[in-house]
Amino acid sequence: MSLLDAARAVRENAYAPYSNFKVGAAIRGKSGAIYVGCNVENVSYPEGTCAEGGAIAAMVAAGEVELTEVCVIADSPHPVSPCGGCRQKLAEFGRGNVMVRMATVDGPETTMTITELLPGAFDQSHMERN
């Protein structure tokens, strides 16, 4: 199954009773395994949790800590990029040149690297003292 197909399938499981805006994400771990996540809203946090964060949590729960590819899909007029928090998570678990494919259910897509999505990402080097 492709990352796009995996993201499209998990998107259907999103719990979005407030926004009705379902997002699906799929990431490929360094092992080649695919992990998926979808957004989840609730009364106290109607914005919900993000799809990419869920996919990363599934990857970490499976024992992997490096992602090599990302795909996000939503029903929107143009591709939706990961939110700021998810961009930071992607930067922590993927190298800067990892491609992030952003798609819509109707077909339009765009692709950017993690570095393009989050230039100047906070990383371990910011905590090092020489």
| Residues making up the binding site for Zn(2+) | 50, 83, 86
Q: Do 83 and 90 touch, CB atoms closer than 8 A?
A: no
- Rounded to whole angstroms, the Cα distance separating 61 from 46 reads 25
Strand locations in 1-130 (E): 23-29, 34-38, 40-42, 45-49, 67-74, 99-104, 109-113
Catalytic residue among 52, 64, 66, 69: 52
Tell me, yes or no, if 12 is annotated catalytic. no
Binding-site residues for substrate sit at 39-45
Q: Do 77 and 104 touch, CB atoms closer than 8 A?
A: yes
Binding-site residues sit at 39-45, 50, 83, 86
- Rounded to whole angstroms, the Cα distance separating 23 from 123 reads 27
31 CA to centre of own chain = 18
Residues labelled catalytic: 52
